[in-house]
A = this chain, B = another copy of it.
Amino acid sequence: MRAVDKAYATVRDGILSGRYPGGSRVTEQDVAAAAGVSRTPVREALRRLHAEGLVDFTANLGAVVTVWNDTDADEIFELRAMLESYGARRAACSATPEQLARLRRLAEEQHRECRERGPGFLERVGSINQHFHRELQEAAGSPRLSRALAALIEAPLMMKTFEKYTPDDLERSAAHHLELCSALEARDAEWADAVMRAHVHAARGAMKR
């Protein structure tokens, strides 16, 4: 593992776990010591995190963990609704049979996990969910779209969404994914767009509670 990846993972995990709370400073030396690398790769990692919106740079202060508020959340969800539904439209036209099969498999797996609720199912559902959305972006075939979305989804806000989901939310989310598969298999771009739009708005609704 490269040193820059170590530094990146250290800061990222620190932010997501709350060890670096929003607004706190992240100095290069601290991270370098924590990750066991020199300042050079830490600098690079911090710039990457800045590009992803996890930290801001204040003049003569260095990196500061980005603070989020409700306005930011609304902004992100609106953009996500727009971009993800666009991705779904594209995927409806251009997804390969193999991609459709993989998506179907993921959606069914997620659906099963949500019904069975075995121990530690929440982490598995979260992981499946991420895979599903990534696979969908792959199917959309627009690297630029993927990059734009990555900058939004990486936000700490988005990562913690599932923790707030009720059992009903989880099942609805899985149902959305299944329905999306049907829309894609039918090559119905409008349908796929609508389902994805509902999916994102439902996520926003769940988070607001």
Contact = CB atoms under 8 A, between A and B. Distances in A.
A151 interface: yes
Contacts of A48: 47, 51
A79 B148 contact: yes
Contact of A82 (B72, B82, B151, B152): B82
A76 B147 CA distance: 12
A151 B147 contact: yes
A88 B54 CA distance: 26
A111 to B, nearest CB: 31
Interface in A47-81: 47-48, 51, 53, 72, 75-76, 78-79
Given A40-B40, A44-B43, A86-B82, A53 B144 contact: yes
Contact of A75 (B44, B75, B79, B145): B145
Interface in A79-129: 79, 82-83, 86
Contacts of A147: 53, 151
A142 interface: yes
Nearest to A155: B144
Interface string A6-28: 00000000000000000000000
Q: Which 9 A-B pairs have the closest CB atoms?
A: A51-B51, A148-B148, A75-B142, A75-B144, A47-B47, A82-B82, A82-B86, A79-B144, A44-B47
